[in-house]
Structure 1
Amino acid sequence: MKVMSRKNVAIVVLHYITINDTIECVQSIFQLSQDEINLQIVIVDNASPDSSGKQLLQYFKDKENVKVLLSEENLGFSKGNNIGFNYAKKYLDPDFILLVNNDIVIEQNNFLMHLIEIYQKDRFDIAGPQIISTVNGRNQNPTPKLFFKVQDVKRMQLKFKIWYILSFMNIDLWLKNILNKNDKEVEEVTEYKDFQLHGACLIFSKDYVEKYDGLNDETFMYMEEFILKYIAERDSLIMSYLNDITIFHKEDSSTNAYLKNNLSKRRFFYKHSIHSSQVLIDLMRKSE
């Protein structure tokens, strides 16, 4: 029987406002089997305005394998995650770095051990687990690749711009409903060939960690998965969907806590999606 060498696993939890979610997330990680695993958890507080980052610092002060980092400003999804990613890369010598939302829970006891077993049989640069929504019970991972050329992204960006303008008249949902009636329902991905991964849990192997300093940091929020997919294809990285490991996702808890009004939430989404789509357009044009 082959003995598995001890692996260093760093899990980065991006925190914003919803402290109970973060504590539940970290506690679920504590419960995982850690045989032959050196587990380190890095919590990044994205300048939560309610001082919950400092509360987490106090809450986990006696946990040697938990590091709480406090950002002085809200850097958004990618840059916030990159704080934890680069801390782990510099100080923890990780074989794997996992970037997880604070509103996920892991109940599968052998999650980490099985992840390592899968990797030893079928290496990857980037991977994602099965992600089950606690809202509707559906698997959110993976999703089909939507953008194959610059024009695809530009069409989507135009929609974001139109919806953003219409949101000031509060008729954006009306138009979206009309457009959605004409769109074919996206079929669940079953072949896992041309797909991208959901951002609630991204797994990076040592090969990726050695080459990159995290995610593309030009966005604030949204479309990170599209950009990561493009970079993976551009740089010939192996992206894998791991159906045998599972997490549960509460969906947008931090955004909902920050933007309690649905209209404000939609407008926030449109605004940042316009910018993020431009980042992707610029990346794609550089390779033309």
Structure 2
Amino acid sequence: MNCPRVSIVILNWNGWEDTIECLESLFQINYSNFDVVLVDNASEDDSINKIRDYCSGILPVESSFFNYNPHNKPITTYEYNETFKKDEIPLKTENLTKKHITLIKNSENRGFPGGNNVGIKFALEFLYPDYILLLNNDTVVDENFLQELINNRNTRDDVGILGPKIYFYDKPQTIWSAGCKISWKFSRGIQIGTNETDNGQYDEIDEVEYVSGSAFLIKTEVIKKIGLMDENYFLYFEESDWTLRANQEGFKSLYIPTSHIWHKVSRSGGGISKPMGLYYITRNRWIFMRKWAKKNDFLVFLLIQIILAILIPIFLSLYYNDKKLFFSYYAGLRAGITNP
């Protein structure tokens, strides 16, 4: 197929302003055979109404990346709860165009993998995509980004996952990620090329250990073999885990440099600068390493964690002037060590 069907799953949690900017950029891309499944993770900031207003055309979007298009509104919305059943779904998939979104409202915050899994399950059951694209709501996409990913999907027979070149939103020529690799001794994902000005140094298609979950294109065939994301992670490390499960089935990941998006980094979780982000990063690295690390790597990781267990929480608390980080680190450490 020259134009395979893609279901784009976007997760919103108290971030409607980012979400509608992302949606507007999507509805201006030059790829036609896609649908959008927007999952709201029990937001408390009036996100649902704001997204409805955007889709109806009464809430315009301002962005330095594109001109708002009032002529592609209204965008039809189909709304469901997370407990959707087949006999309750009135939409006809054969008549869908890109001028619609499916809006699924979760009753609780299910985290990144849990929220996305709801959207993925809906897409697989009702939309029959050839590919699923996980796209962070705090991204803006280039008009050619999806076409470029699709154009390169058959570069190799063993490719199951593809990702774009990702720039910082507030530094549009500065790379955030040109693919990712894993530091096994420190149990952390490393964004290749981060903070480098793009001078063409990452303009070759490359096999990478994994691609960022902020824009993660995966074949439906892969999902059917390896299953959904592991919801135990809740936030962080889930795409690394998912990729390694794909690797076990013989599927590789490709970085596609001609596909471009811009990312507002750590908008939701906040990374190590916020208590929630630090808790899950600390917790999940232990879960991830027990599951995937080789024995020697795990022993080195264990030694490093013992040494840093005092230094990290003190340093972060002082650097970010937030004593909550101290307690979040140790709560995450305890949860990670005791997690079965």
TM-score band, normalised by shorter chain: 0.7 to 0.9
| Residue of structure 1 in register with 2:230 after alignment | 216
Aligned: 1:79 with 2:79 = no
Change (3 A) 1:249 1:204: same
Please say if residues 81 and 214 of structure 1, whose CA atoms lie closer than 8 Å, have aligned partners that are also in contact: no
Distance (Å, rounded) in 2 between the aligned partners of 1:234 and 1:120: 20
The alpha-carbon distance between structure 1 residues 285 and 241, as it changes in their structure 2 partners (threshold 3 A), is closer
Partner residue, 2:21: 24
Tell me: CA distance 1:121–1:270, structure 2 relative to 1, closer, same or farther (3 Å): closer
Partner of 2:11: 14
Q: Which residue number in structure 2 is paired with residue 171 of structure 1?
A: none
Correspondence 1:1-288 to 2 at 5 A: 4-35=1-32, 37=33, 39-57=34-52, 59-60=54-55, 62-63=75-76, 65-107=100-142, 109-123=143-157, 124-136=159-171, 137-147=174-184, 152=185, 156=187, 192-193=206-207, 195-255=209-269, 265=274, 267-284=275-292
Aligned residue pairs, count: 243
Q: 1:20 to 1:232 in 2, by over 3 A?
A: same
Compute the displacement of 1:195 (Å): 3.0
> In 2, distance between residues paired with 1:187 and 1:55?
33
Distance across 1 between alignment mates of 2:180 and 2:228: 21
- What is the deviation of 1:253? 2.4
Q: 1:276 to 1:54 in 2, by over 3 A?
A: farther
> What is the distance in 2 between the residues matched to 1:284 and 1:196?
14
Aligned residues with identical type, % of pairs: 27
Amino acid at match of 1:110: N
RMSD, matched Cα? 3.1
Q: Which residue of 2 aligns with 1:177?
A: none
Separation in structure 2 between the aligned mates of residue 120 and residue 240 of structure 1, nearest angstrom: 10
In structure 2, the gaps of 5 or more residues are 57-74, 78-99, 296-340
- TM-score of the superposition, structure 1-length normalised? 0.73
Whether the aligned pair in 2 keeps the contact of 1:135 and 1:251 (CA below 8 Å) is no
Alignment partners' CA distance in 2, 1:26 and 1:96 = 19
Detail structure 1 runs of 4+ shifted over 4 Å in the superposition: 185-191
1:47–1:70 Cα contact (<8 Å) kept: yes
Aligned pair in 2 of structure 1 residues 5, 156: CA closer, same or farther (>3 Å)?
Answer: closer
Deviation at 1:209, TM superposition (A): 3.0
The alpha-carbon deviation at position 41 of structure 1 amounts to 0.3
1:142 is displaced (CA, Å) by 1.1
**CA distance 1:226–1:119, shift in 2 (3 Å):** closer
Q: 1:193 to 1:209 in 2, by over 3 A?
A: closer
Displacement after TM superposition at 1:234 (Å): 2.9
**Whole-angstrom distance in 1 between the partners of 2:241 and 2:127:** 26
Confirm or deny: 8 A CA contact 2:222 2:246 kept in the other structure.
no
User: For 2:126 and 2:220, how far apart are their aligned partners in 1?
Assistant: 14
Q: Report the Cα distance in structure 1 between the residues aligned to 2:3 and 2:115, rounded to whole angstroms.
A: 29
Contact 2:180 2:212 in 1 (8 A): yes
User: Normalised by the size of structure 2, how large is the TM-score?
Assistant: 0.63
Q: Which runs of 5+ in 1 are unaligned?
A: 158-184
Structure 2 counterpart SS, 1:253: coil
2: CA distance, partners of 1:49 / 1:187:
33
Cα displacement string for residues 12-49 of structure 1 (whole angstroms, at most 9, x for unaligned residues): 111111211101101111101135x2x11011111111
| Residues 268/95 of structure 1: CA separation in 2 closer, same or farther (3 Å cut) | same
Which has the higher relative contact order, 1 or 2, with Cα contacts under 8 A spaced 6 or more apart?
Answer: 1
